[in-house]
Amino acid sequence: MSQTSSPHLDPRQFKSFAEFYPFYLGEHRNPICRRLHFIGTSLSLLFLLALVVTGSWWYLLAGLVCGYAFAWVGHFGFEKNRPASFKRPIYSFLGDWMMWRDILLGRISLR
């Protein structure tokens, strides 16, 4: 997994998602943080499915809260960094789904 992270890098400096994603991965070096992200994103996907099936918009709120709660515990508790979502919310949201896909495909380890 190619990663570039530095406490001196500002996520707002990246002009494209392709430039941002290696930085994003570098902010997720701790395997517990990656696991928490994967669990939170997976649960969010289940809540999205529940929204589609039931039509209850509460599932959208539950999915957002669940996804961010797991991610933030990973960052503050294990990575000891601030989530990039504070400065690059859209790129971070996309990065979370890309990392989730890459974990599913075995490109990123949870160990």
20 contacts: CB under 8 Å, gap ≥ 6: 11, 14, 84, 88, 91, 95
DSSP 28: T
- The answer, as to whether pTM is greater than 0.85, is yes
pLDDT tens digits, 33-42: 999 999 999 9
pLDDT at 103 over 90: yes
pLDDT at 4 over 70: no
Q: How far apart are CA 65 and CA 3, in angstroms?
A: 27
Provide the total of helices (H) and of strands (E) in the chain, helices listed first.
4, 0
Q: Calculate the average pLDDT of the chain.
A: 92
Q: Pick from 14, 16, 13, 3: which is nearest to 99 by CA?
A: 3
